[in-house]
């Protein structure tokens, strides 16, 4: 049998198998063609983005650098955002570096740049660059974009962060003004401004309360819009009051008398030490900032209350009627033996407290020189106890407690007139 015949016979015998293999290969090929081929995208890194321009020169060119050239890249593959009105020119390629002219914007700011190209997997997107706008006349326009602060209700604010649309040359803390502060106490003190722009940090200190801080910025050569800004700041965490104590638990006064009560707030470093005063019966005793005034006989409770936490302490005030005498002025018209004696004896209270103090006096010109003497005898349980004095006036001192008790007493005046001695007993009463 010839070799050609054998080959033909082999083909005929295996024809079905051969056509089946070809069909399987075709199906596999179509299946592979329909699969996602994104894994075949060329990886490229967006390496750098820069912009020309300065506060006195408008930005006109963006420069984009990639790890390798991107075939067919155009301006249409580049998306710009963040600066209103910006327009793209024609992209120019130089190996892996591209330059893109920009125009059409009327204010500077942070420009975000994103790049997307079919067939390439571009990483490190988007990029950002500061662009500048200068109108060529007058001050440089710049926007005070944001102001933030660190701190919380449990942590004191120590730093402000100010962000502008572009850097402000020579900006210092002196160009920043704290217009107002809604918290109580001092407005914060500024530290030294740091940063080269467009973001700056400013340390603050010296304040004790939470509140809203209003901040304005002015710099020669710049027209700053968006100023002033406001930000919430936090003072040192509050130290709560644990209690308040009065220096007296009870108090006794005579009608018309006054006494000061002192309140001590604990702890001594409490944040809010404000207190208020009240009386349970202002008709008996009133109180004003701790000063108690006796109004009428009776009892009243003075209460001090803290503004923080409502802590209280009390003082019970007892008010007695004012002490007095019966017959302040007495006319002496005759003496015991019937001889005439003309003169005026005056008994005057000289204090408002208790024991009571009196001054007793007589006109010395009515009697012989050096002849006047006084004797006071107690009444009731004090009967027989005396105090003796000499001269035209005589004091019933507070130390003579037995003569300052309520009840009746007797004043005995002894004088000489033309050499003759006379005595006169004058009753008086210390009463409510």
Distance CA 76, CA 246 (A): 81
Greater model confidence, 126 or 120 = 120
Say what the pLDDT of residue 338 is.
38
Across 22-26, 114-118, 144-148, 230-234, least confident range:
22-26
Query: Above 60 in pLDDT, residue 101?
Result: yes
Say what the pLDDT of residue 360 is.
66
Query: Above 50 in pLDDT, residue 5?
Result: no
Say what the pLDDT of residue 39 is.
62
Nearest partner of 66 among 91, 88, 90, judged by Cα: 91
pLDDT tens readout for residues 288-346: 999 999 988 899 999 999 999 999 999 999 988 654 432 233 333 333 333 344 455 56
pLDDT band at 406 (very low <50, low <70, confident <90, very high): low
Say what the pLDDT of residue 65 is.
95
pLDDT average, residue stretch 161-170: 93
CB atoms within 10 A of CB 75: 16
> Which helix (H) or strand (E) segment is 6 a member of?
helix 3-13
Q: Please, what are the domains in the chain?
A: 42-131 (2.60.40.1220), 140-233 (2.60.40.1220), 243-320 (2.60.40.1080), 324-431 (2.60.40)
Distance CA 131, CA 304 (A): 64
Name the β-bridge partners of 78.
115
Select the highest-mean-pLDDT range: 128-132, 217-221, 397-401.
Answer: 217-221
Say what the pLDDT of residue 54 is.
80
Distance CA 195, CA 131 (A): 18
> Which helix (H) or strand (E) segment is 8 a member of?
helix 3-13
Reduced 3-state DSSP string for 12-76: HHCHHHHHHHHHHHHHHHHHHHHCCCHHHCEEEEEEEEEECCECCECCCEEEEEECCCCCCCCHH
Measured CA to CA in angstroms, residue 278 lies from 237, 270, 361, 416 at distances of 30, 22, 44, 59
Mean of the per-residue pLDDT values of the chain: 78
Distance CA 133, CA 235 (A): 39
Nearest partner of 172 among 152, 194, 145, judged by Cα: 194
Greater model confidence, 132 or 29 = 132
Measured CA to CA in angstroms, residue 389 lies from 10, 342, 398, 414 at distances of 165, 21, 15, 10
Q: Is residue 298 helix, strand or coil?
A: strand
Say what the pLDDT of residue 14 is.
53
Percent share of the chain, pLDDT over 90: 46
pLDDT tens readout for residues 292-304: 999 888 999 999 9
Say what the pLDDT of residue 356 is.
55
pLDDT band at 125 (very low <50, low <70, confident <90, very high): confident
């Amino acid at each position: 049998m010839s070799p050609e015949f054998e080959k033909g016979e082999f083909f005929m015998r295996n024809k079905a198998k051969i056509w089946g293999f070809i069909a399987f290969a075709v199906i596999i090929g179509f299946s592979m063609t329909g699969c996602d081929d994104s894994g075949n995208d060329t990886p490229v890194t967006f390496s750098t983005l820069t912009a020309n321009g300065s506060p006195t020169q408008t930005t006109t060119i963006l420069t984009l650098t990639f790890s390798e050239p991107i075939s067919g890249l155009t301006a249409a593959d580049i998306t710009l955002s963040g600066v209103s009105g910006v327009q793209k020119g024609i992209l120019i390629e130089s190996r892996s570096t591209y330059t893109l002219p920009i125009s059409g914007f009327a204010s500077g700011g942070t420009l975000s740049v994103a790049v997307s190209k079919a067939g390439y997997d571009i990483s490190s997107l988007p990029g950002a660059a500061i662009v500048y706008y200068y109108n060529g006349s007058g001050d440089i326009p710049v926007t005070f974009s944001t102001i933030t602060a660190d701190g919380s209700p449990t942590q004191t604010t120590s730093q402000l962060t100010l962000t502008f649309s572009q850097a402000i040359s020579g900006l210092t803390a002196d160009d920043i003004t704290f217009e107002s502060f809604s918290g109580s106490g001092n407005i914060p003190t500024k530290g030294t401004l740091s940063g080269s722009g467009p973001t700056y940090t400013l340390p603050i200190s010296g304040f004790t309360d939470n509140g809203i801080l209003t901040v304005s910025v002015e710099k020669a050569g710049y027209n700053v819009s968006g100023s002033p800004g406001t930000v919430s700041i936090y003072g040192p965490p509050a130290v709560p009051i644990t209690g308040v104590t009065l220096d007296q638990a009870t108090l006794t006064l005579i009608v018309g008398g006054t006494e000061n009560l002192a309140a001590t707030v604990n702890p001594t470093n409490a944040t809010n030490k404000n207190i208020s005063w009240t009386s349970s019966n202002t008709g008996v005793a009133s109180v004003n900032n701790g000063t108690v005034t006796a109004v009428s006989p009776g009892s009243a409770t003075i209460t001090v209350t803290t503004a923080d936490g409502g802590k209280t302490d009390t003082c019970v005030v007892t008010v007695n009627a004012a002490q007095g005498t019966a017959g302040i002025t007495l006319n002496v018209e005759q003496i015991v033996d019937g001889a005439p004696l003309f003169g005026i004896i005056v008994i005057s209270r000289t204090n408002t407290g208790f024991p009571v103090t009196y001054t007793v006096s007589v006109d010395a010109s009515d009697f012989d020189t050096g002849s006047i003497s006084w004797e006071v005898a107690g009444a009731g349980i004090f009967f027989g106890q005396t105090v003796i004095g000499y001269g035209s006036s005589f004091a019933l001192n507070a130390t003579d407690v037995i003569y300052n008790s309520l009840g009746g007493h007797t004043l005995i005046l002894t004088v000489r007139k033309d050499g003759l001695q006379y005595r006169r007993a004058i009753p008086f009463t210390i009463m409510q």
